Amino acid sequence: MKHSKILLLLAVTFIVIATLLIFLKPNNVKALVQDNAVTKEQASFNRTDSIYPRHNLTLSKTELEKAAKETVLFHEIQAGDLEANTLLPLAKSGKGMAIRYDQNIIETKKIGDEVRFQMLEYGLNRSGEIVEIEKIDDDILRWHGRFQQGNPELNFFTITQSQKDQYTIMQIYTDKGNYTAEIKNGRGIVQGMDEGVEDHELHAHDH
């Protein structure tokens, strides 16, 4: 009887040791470390995601990182690419600089971040810093910024954006002139404020 108990105990001990050896193989240990690293990375990403002005950004991690790294707000395109957006008030005059725009770039910008306005048609290529972010309502945000060049009282900008409508209005003030950008669905136009659009037309959209 005692001999049988000893054999049973040895068998159980052998099974436990064998199980531990299988579980703790190098590959399994490596997998555990990788899983733990992924969990930590995801937790870190979730914390980072919460620092953006809008908390409901529906972007993948790759899209978010790409937008956050980009500083140039828009790029010039051919005027013909604006045909789908001819209802924009700024497009009525047929003047100005046609642009393409990714609204996620400004969505990822916080106070202290840098953005760049490349408006070569107007001889302007300036960087600015976000100094305030204003919540207009549950959908519309407004970024306030100052240009790094010139008197800050004369060189500043605002960007008012509706994520739901994919509609953006920019007011850009510089010592070289004042400009407005109007953008819908990623396409828009930049004009000098004296190039043909009525002020009340813009303010009708500038929530």
**Dist. CA 47–CA 113, nearest whole Å:** 18
**Dist. CA 193–CA 55, nearest whole Å:** 33
pLDDT number for residue 73: 96
Q: What is the mean pLDDT of residues 50-63?
A: 77
Sheet-wide strand order for 167-174: 74-76, 97-101, 187-192, 177-184, 167-174, 156-162, 140-147, 124-135, 114-119
pLDDT number for residue 122: 92
Structure confidence at residue 42 as a pLDDT band (50, 70, 90): very low
The per-residue pLDDT for range 72-124, each reduced to its tens digit, is 999 999 877 776 555 677 767 778 899 999 999 999 999 999 999 999 999 99
Sign for the CA dihedral angle at 204, 97, 121, 72 comes to: positive
| Weakest-pLDDT range from 38-52, 53-67, 70-84, 152-166 | 38-52
The pTM is what? 0.69
